Amino acid sequence: MAADSIGMINFEDLSFSYDNGVSVLSGLTGNWERGMIHGLIGPSGCGKSTLLYLLAGLLTPQAGTLSVDGETPPPGRRKTAVILQNHGLFPWKSAWENLALGLKIRKEKPAHIQKKVSSMLDELGLKGLDDAFPGELSGGERQRLAIGRALVLEPDLLLLDEPFSALDAMTREKLQDSLWEMKHRRSTGESLTLVHVTHSIEEAVFLSDRVHIMNQKGEIRSFENHSPGPGFRIAGEYFQKCVALRQAFDAYSGGGR
């Protein structure tokens, strides 16, 4: 990206404190490219989720500027989707209804909703589970459904706060593969930018095109990564990148996730 071009996400001198007056972010600056997967990693409590909520327009900075696609993000920005750790599904609605809800709220035509929801269930590998309620699905299937519910609305920005942290290691890897594939299937014309917060060095390396390390002072340092997706986990380059990121993390953040 040219030094003077504005990325999908741009923030300058961004500062934020909660009502208790404790400063979480102070003078933060970044310019994050469109169409990429950005991984945000840092020690617990350094302000990763706070930054994500600012990007989502759920919090407002006290100082500095923040733009998403060239504009200050309003709360409920139509093209931003957010997936939190607890997946946020409606437990009383079936898988099909959870996927259809956002489209119904947008008053899409029933035939269009039917088509989009069926093809999303297919893409998620959840075909046949249309009528299942979230409580009847496995943790991995629930998180898959949450990703589907976000993507069915065709966002240009998908924000994920530690989406896979509650899953077992094998399920987590499968979901990482699916998320990478679903993102890249949609990326012609740089249509989707993704930001995910993670505690895992391996997850950051596997998923991300850029890794942003945040430290306890609320500062950020960014690294190019580039992941070629499924299959990368058994490549020598993957291990080298994990080691390099771990070293950068320890040197910059003072260690501790």
**Interface residue list for ligand ADP (CB under 6 A):** 18, 20, 24, 42, 44-50
Closest CA to 193 of 15, 3, 10: 10
Q: Give the span between the Cα atoms of 135 and 150, in whole angstroms.
A: 19
* Cβ within 8 Å of residue 85, ≥6 positions away: 161, 162, 163, 165, 166
Report in angstroms how near the CB of residue 132 gets to ligand ADP at its nearest: 31
Of residues 228 and 256, the one with the C-beta less far from ligand ADP: 256
Rg of the chain in Å (alpha carbons): 18
- Residue 86 burial by Cβ neighbours in a 10 Å radius (0-12, 13-18, 19+): exposed
- Residue 113 burial by Cβ neighbours in a 10 Å radius (0-12, 13-18, 19+): buried
Of residues 24 and 100, the one with the C-beta less far from ligand ADP: 24
Report in angstroms how near the CB of residue 9 gets to ligand ADP at its nearest: 17
129 CB-side CA count, 13 A: 22
Of residues 29 and 240, the one with the C-beta less far from ligand ADP: 29
Report in angstroms how near the CB of residue 171 gets to ligand ADP at its nearest: 22
Report in angstroms how near the CB of residue 223 gets to ligand ADP at its nearest: 18
Of residues 82 and 151, the one with the C-beta less far from ligand ADP: 82
Report in angstroms how near the CB of residue 199 gets to ligand ADP at its nearest: 9
Q: Give the span between the Cα atoms of 163 and 216, in whole angstroms.
A: 22
Of residues 129 and 214, the one with the C-beta less far from ligand ADP: 214
Q: Are 81 and 153 in contact (CB under 8 A)?
A: yes
Q: Give the span between the Cα atoms of 67 and 138, in whole angstroms.
A: 37
Report in angstroms how near the CB of residue 76 gets to ligand ADP at its nearest: 19
Report in angstroms how near the CB of residue 177 gets to ligand ADP at its nearest: 25
**Residue 86 in 3-state DSSP?**
coil
* Cβ within 8 Å of residue 165, ≥6 positions away: 85, 198, 199, 200
Q: Give the span between the Cα atoms of 254 and 43, in whole angstroms.
A: 8
Of residues 152 and 197, the one with the C-beta less far from ligand ADP: 197
Of residues 61 and 148, the one with the C-beta less far from ligand ADP: 61
